[in-house]
Structure 1
């Protein structure tokens, strides 16, 4: 056997081993149900040098098993939790192309939320693979995002599995919503402080979340985006449920409602329906239905 034949034989053995590993993992995924989203695939390597920008995009890439390929993320990327160990390249709406290029990535995954436009154009003009997807605004958009990224990564089967798991969570949500005799009146406040209450209006992810779990946003017909509202308007609307979140998760944001004498007669206060959620619960990624289900379960027993 010549040296070439020996080398060829070794290469064949190596390729067979790799393919067997990939096939074994896919068998686990498709038939045994043992695969855990975010579990790294054998084909995911640090040498791939991906940068993901945007919470939903990052979550999809990791949940498809390519976490080992990601070398940096942006500040809006908080899921899964291990992204916190990666370098960040800034905030998605204030991206610096120089900072990204300094990481020497091979491929960038991002969404149409990325700005400023100059940075986007510079990265598009670079020799890097620049993958930009529509920023998801609802669960249907998220499904399309999974389809697109899984196709670009060559793991369409995994994308289907992710979507099926999301559909399972959505079925559970629908079952709980069907137990409501009336539509709960809900409000979401971001970073509340004493005497300062910024509520979500129409067109926000929080507004969509409220509808998704079977509620009605009390301010959806009042204004778009986020707006500061008065204590008087909160008392008049008298929400059944108050969802509240802060960028600093250590803040006791529910206390601004529970310890305010003016709010003691609110239905939400009397029934203990002041629900603290995480800012990551508003990420329109693969975990959105699961997070929504947890929120729904936290107050569904008190729904009338």
Structure 2
């Protein structure tokens, strides 16, 4: 009996030691989550935020809110050992609560370009002690980036492109300059038709769209609309029937989580989109 008690005690101690040694990470921000999983560290992630939609595995994890409106109580109740996020996190008072909680908090610059993504990969790899994997991942991203640049260099001219967020029949919110969608358009080798009209996002009229006559229309959605529904807003409109993008069947529905997260999957997803656009032009 005494021997059994000793074995039981040892098992308990070992279990506690294992728990203490097991990292419990909360990733806040789609780019961070994407990179942590790509670095092979996803098994340590216990929760994410609503902006984290890739990879597929994250959909089974608890969520702690949206990156710009986080609750400290929801995060700390999960007893994380480490919180990794970007400068998009908010509100400020919650960030202060997290800083004072005693939990390791890492806040890295939010990525807005390919270079920013590679820097974030390097920072996160160092944070989770996966430096070698970080170097390999960045080399892979650079190879994809080089392929994309080579394809763009072969294009005759820049395409006029517009990006709409969750458009409906009577409402069109377009991306202007200083948006991730604007960078996506540039990264595709295109020209944002509203870049010189306004910053951020703004509602535009059908007349404005017709006036600019885009070559390509990108329809981004976060509301779960299927592709055909999103594209039909343009294809089924009599007003848009003479727009070049509609006439050439160049309206593309894209997942905003995949294309505007700016994590490690951004170059690959952009390359796939560019090839789809070029294939459609043949």
Deviation by residue 1:79-99 (Cα, 9 ceiling, x = unmatched): 111100000000000000011
1:275 aligns with 2:252: yes
State the number of aligned residues: 260
* Matching of residues 214-293 of structure 1 within 5 Å: 214-251=189-226, 252-280=229-257, 281-293=259-271
Whole-Å separation in 1 of the counterparts to 2:281 and 2:146? 19
Q: Secondary structure at the match of 2:88?
A: coil
Which structure 1 segments of 5+ residues have no match?
1-44
* Matching of residues 1-304 of structure 1 within 5 Å: 47-251=22-226, 252-280=229-257, 281-302=259-280
Higher RCO by CA contacts (8 Å cutoff, separation 6 or greater):
2
Deviation by residue 1:252-277 (Cα, 9 ceiling, x = unmatched): 11110000011111110111100110
Q: Secondary structure at the match of 1:239?
A: coil
Range 246-255 or range 194-203, more displaced: 246-255
- TM-score scaled to structure 2, two decimals? 0.89
1:167 positional shift: 1.2
Which stretches of structure 1, 4 residues or longer, exceed 3 Å deviation after superposition? 301-304
Deviation by residue 1:176-195 (Cα, 9 ceiling, x = unmatched): 21221111000000111012
Q: Secondary structure at the match of 2:47?
A: strand
1:139 positional shift: 1.1
Q: Relative to 1, partners in 2 of residues 1:303 and 1:46: Cα closer, same or farther, differing over 3 Å?
A: farther
Q: Name the Cα RMSD after superposition.
A: 1.4
- TM-score scaled to structure 1, two decimals? 0.83
Whole-Å separation in 2 of the counterparts to 1:56 and 1:117? 20
